[in-house]
A and B are shown apart, each in its own frame.
Chain A
Amino acid sequence: MTRAAVLAGLGAYLPTHVLTNDMLAQTLDTSDAWIRSRTGIGQRHIVADSQTTADLAMEAGQRALASAGLSRVDAVVLATTTPDLYCPATAPTVAAKLGLAGTPAFDVSAACTGFIYGLTVASSLITAGVFESVLFIGADTFTQTLDPNDRSTRALIGDGAGAVVLRAGQRDEDGAILAFDLGSDGNQVDLLYVPGRPRADRAQASAQANGYFQMNGRAVFTEAVTHMSESVERVLKKVEWPLTEVDYLVPHQANARILAAVADQLSLDTAKVISNIADVGNTVAASIPLAIAHHSKQQPLARGSKVVLTGFGAGLTWGSIAFRWPAITITQ
């Protein structure tokens, strides 16, 4: 008998306001056809002015707790790169909003790889015997970091939140988190970054120093495809699954063409790649649970299916996780 963290519930939440490609084209030099051909994205959801990352995280967290049939957990971990404040972390606010004040709560920051890094941390806290249950949430309001005049980043990014509940269990159960692969390369920090200027100052700053999210799209494309495909291969080696046994690959929803190129590099049937990027864009730390939740609406994942999650993001960071799908009902 080997102790493991087991996936016990999953919840997802999207803010209600939808920004379509046609709406973007009203203010930017772009078009629905241009955006779809380069990204595969048709629309994205955007937070209301009154909503923060904590609000989205709370909604997804509530749904994950309902999915797991729990009202309390031993800890709340939040993956986000867009915290409500520079200090403190946002997780304690989320825990309090969920009625869990007093519960240990902290943030993990790994940008678009946040869900993979955070799930690794949350799972390890259970495996190590520190906690019996953890609510882990990936939530971002990354649209708030974007240059309003940058057609490439505004086309890509959306807001959202996804959450899972992990409980202590055994490694041979469906839903047991089986293996991780994580990596980073800080030498390439300049490919994707937000300088960190306060929002109030941005309007006055020059274009070069405006503090908005910066991205070298072409270099990121190659790095994302390379690191996600290599990380998937490493995690498969750890669980000793040949690629042909993988039922679902759930990549961070970076760009539809990146997802296709990852499948091509791995020689994986694209039908096994779960994607909802057309409807939500790139939602940073929320993208993986949102993709699973939306796919499950159409076609629930079969219990025991072999699932690999993979992510890539600013840092650079990347990582993958392998597990078998458990018998849970997703709440969204």
Chain B
Amino acid sequence: MSTNMETRLLALISDASGVAPDAIKPESRLDELGLDSLAITEMALKLRKEFGVSRLDEKFYFLETVDELLKVVAQVQQAS
């Protein structure tokens, strides 16, 4: 289960940015992928709907790279 949400997050980043999943590197910056702050919020809302994880949007605030988002998601999954 623990990788499902991370896989889904990568797919959402790929959808929103138009960059293929295997071209998205952990160190990729969200702004360089063309993702604005609302795009991060939209992804948090989609993950809430699909995985039942609340307040993810607040945890995503001020994060700048793909790796940072994935770490938050991994922590949230471990805690649940």
A: which residues have CB within 8 A of B?
37-38, 217-218, 221-222, 225-226, 257, 261, 264-265
- List the A side residues contacting B37 at CB < 8 Å: 217-218
Contacting pair A38 B38 (CB below 8 A): yes
Q: With the chains together, A265 CA to B52 CA distance in Å?
A: 12
- List the A side residues contacting B38 at CB < 8 Å: 38, 217-218, 221, 257
Q: When the two chains form the complex, which single residue of B41, B45, B57, B61 contacts A265, counting CB atoms closer than 8 Å?
A: B45
Contacting pair A37 B45 (CB below 8 A): no
Let me know if B46 is at the binding interface, CB within 8 A: yes
- How far is the CB of A187 from the nearest CB of chain B, in Å? 15
Q: Mark B50-65, 1 if CB is under 8 A from A, else 0.
A: 0000000100010000
Contacting pair B41 A38 (CB below 8 A): no
Q: With the chains together, A257 CA to B38 CA distance in Å?
A: 8
- How far is the CB of A115 from the nearest CB of chain B, in Å? 24
Q: A218-B38, A222-B41 are in contact. List 13 more A-B contacts (CB 8 A).
A: A37-B36, A38-B36, A38-B38, A217-B37, A218-B37, A218-B57, A222-B45, A257-B38, A257-B42, A261-B42, A264-B46, A264-B49, A265-B49
- How far is the CB of A287 from the nearest CB of chain B, in Å? 19
A37-B36, A38-B36 in contact; A218/B46 too (CB < 8 A)? no
Q: With the chains together, A261 CA to B44 CA distance in Å?
A: 11
- Closest B residue to A257 by CB, please name it: B38
Q: List 27 A-B contacts (CB under 8 A).
A: A37-B36, A38-B36, A38-B38, A217-B37, A217-B38, A218-B37, A218-B38, A218-B41, A218-B57, A218-B61, A221-B38, A221-B41, A222-B41, A222-B44, A222-B45, A222-B57, A225-B45, A226-B45, A257-B38, A257-B42, A261-B42, A261-B45, A264-B45, A264-B46, A264-B49, A265-B45, A265-B49
- List the B side residues contacting A257 at CB < 8 Å: 38, 42
- How far is the CB of A218 from the nearest CB of chain B, in Å? 5
Q: With the chains together, A256 CA to B45 CA distance in Å?
A: 16
Q: With the chains together, A59 CA to B45 CA distance in Å?
A: 40
- List the A side residues contacting B46 at CB < 8 Å: 264
How many chain B residues touch A (Cβ–Cβ < 8 Å)?
11
For chain B, what secondary structure do more than half of its interface residues adopt (helix, strand, loop), or is it mixed? Answer: helix
B: which residues have CB within 8 A of A?
36-38, 41-42, 44-46, 49, 57, 61
- List the B side residues contacting A38 at CB < 8 Å: 36, 38
- List the A side residues contacting B41 at CB < 8 Å: 218, 221-222
Those 6 A-B pairs whose CB atoms lie nearest each other, nearest first: A222-B57, A221-B41, A218-B37, A261-B45, A257-B38, A225-B45
- How far is the CB of A133 from the nearest CB of chain B, in Å? 41
- List the A side residues contacting B61 at CB < 8 Å: 218
- Closest B residue to A34 by CB, please name it: B36
- List the B side residues contacting A264 at CB < 8 Å: 45-46, 49
- List the B side residues contacting A221 at CB < 8 Å: 38, 41
Q: With the chains together, A225 CA to B36 CA distance in Å?
A: 17
- How far is the CB of A153 from the nearest CB of chain B, in Å? 15
- How far is the CB of A285 from the nearest CB of chain B, in Å? 24
Q: With the chains together, A38 CA to B34 CA distance in Å?
A: 12
- How far is the CB of B51 from the nearest CB of chain A, in Å? 14
Q: With the chains together, A264 CA to B46 CA distance in Å?
A: 8
Q: With the chains together, A37 CA to B57 CA distance in Å?
A: 20
Q: With the chains together, A264 CA to B49 CA distance in Å?
A: 9
Most buried by B among A38, A217, A218, A265: A218
Most buried by A among B44, B45, B46: B45
- How far is the CB of A326 from the nearest CB of chain B, in Å? 34
- How far is the CB of B3 from the nearest CB of chain A, in Å? 23
Q: With the chains together, A257 CA to B42 CA distance in Å?
A: 8
Q: With the chains together, A261 CA to B16 CA distance in Å?
A: 13
